[in-house]
């Protein structure tokens, strides 16, 4: 039998069990420290060496690179291993889907990756650990070793546009899938949020797993409010068994 294509849009909520705080929830980073938003805003970052220095210190203390996949990430990878066609579209930059065992080619990182750095001048890339080692060694704003340009995390900052190729692939998957599960996303940040609507418009079964209401709840076939760490493994099991398709 033909297994349905399952698209999973994951937001910050899927990674909170791994110790990575979300941004917009009740205890989110932006609510606790509105100034922190400047550290990931392209215009401020490029124009102010002090913002860059603070950004590098924030990255140095960031737990993202030390986080481990949790039960939800493992359940998604398990569904793919069971032979169900799965594509992950993630708003997260933590790389935990891949660490959990999802093949990198089946994961679309809409907002880039915190595990790499990129030069804003020559586009040279490398592992974030290499740049952080230079910060640890005393460089407070390490320049590009190739061209001397400004380095940044290979994530999409506020004020930067998403990679049109990655976004195009995400739209195509949203149109083609039979099941679309939005998990741990507020579904408030466009264009990622709009993918849920695109999937529903093209006949996909829309399932939303999130602690708080989202703008797309009224379009969903199922809304799940229980904790992601238990809800997603159950949903993945049902899909693996051929239910909910």
Please report, for the chain, the start and end positions of each structural domain, with discontinuous segments joined by +: 1-20+69-111+161-245, 26-62+113-155
**Class level of CATH domain 26-62+113-155:** alpha beta
Number of other CB atoms surrounding residue 162 within 10 Å: 16
Query: What's residue 38's pLDDT?
Result: 86
Averaged pLDDT of the chain: 92
Query: What's residue 241's pLDDT?
Result: 87
Higher pLDDT residue, 131 or 32? 131
Distance, CA of 154 to CA of 238 (rounded, Å): 36
Beta strands 6-10 and 112-119 are unpaired
pLDDT at 243 over 70: no
Q: Which two tokens stand for residue 235?
A: 């949903």
Which residues, 6 or more positions from 61, have their beta carbon under 8 angstroms from its beta carbon? Answer: none
pLDDT in tens, 22-66: 655 545 555 566 677 888 899 999 999 999 999 999 888 887 888
Query: What's residue 176's pLDDT?
Result: 98
Check if the beta carbon of residue 150 is closer than 8 Å to that of residue 206.
no
Cis peptide before 210 (omega within 30 of 0): no
Domains 1-20+69-111+161-245 and 26-62+113-155 share a fold: no
pLDDT in tens, 88-108: 999 999 999 999 999 999 999
Query: What's residue 189's pLDDT?
Result: 86
pLDDT in tens, 140-181: 999 999 999 999 999 999 999 999 999 999 999 999 999 999
Q: Which of 15-29, 69-83, 215-229 has the lowest mean pLDDT?
A: 15-29
Active centre residues (catalytic): 111
Number of other CB atoms surrounding residue 159 within 10 Å: 12
On whether the pTM is more than 0.85, the answer is yes
- Residue 68 pLDDT grade (very low, low, confident, very high; cuts 50, 70, 90): very high
pLDDT at 245 over 80: no
**Class level of CATH domain 1-20+69-111+161-245:** alpha beta
Higher pLDDT residue, 22 or 111? 111
Distance, CA of 209 to CA of 182 (rounded, Å): 6
């Amino acid at each position: 039998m033909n297994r349905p294509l399952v698209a999973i849009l994951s937001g910050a909520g899927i990674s909170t069990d791994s110790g990575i705080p979300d941004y917009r929830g009740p205890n989110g980073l932006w609510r606790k420290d509105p100034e922190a938003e400047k550290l990931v805003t392209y215009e401020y970052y490029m124009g102010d060496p002090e913002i860059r220095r603070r950004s590098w210190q924030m990255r140095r203390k960031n737990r993202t690179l030390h986080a481990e996949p949790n039960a939800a990430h493992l359940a998604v990878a398990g569904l793919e291993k069971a032979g169900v066609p799965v594509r992950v579209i993630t708003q997260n930059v933590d790389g935990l889907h891949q660490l959990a065992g999802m093949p990198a080619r089946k994961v679309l990182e809409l907002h880039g990756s915190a595990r790499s750095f990129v030069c804003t001048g020559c586009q040279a890339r490398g592992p974030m650990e290499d740049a952080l080692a230079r910060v640890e060694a005393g460089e407070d704003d390490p320049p590009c070793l190739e061209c001397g340009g400004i380095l940044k995390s290979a994530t999409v900052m506020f004020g930067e546009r998403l990679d049109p190729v990655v976004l195009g692939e995400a739209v195509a998957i949203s149109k083609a899938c039979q099941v679309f599960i939005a998990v741990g996303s507020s579904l408030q940040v466009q264009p990622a949020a709009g993918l849920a609507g695109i999937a529903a418009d093209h006949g996909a079964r829309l399932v939303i797993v999130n602690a708080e209401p989202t703008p797309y709840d009224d379009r969903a076939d199922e809304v799940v409010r229980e904790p992601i760490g238990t809800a997603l493994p159950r949903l993945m099991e049902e899909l693996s068994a051929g239910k909910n398709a």
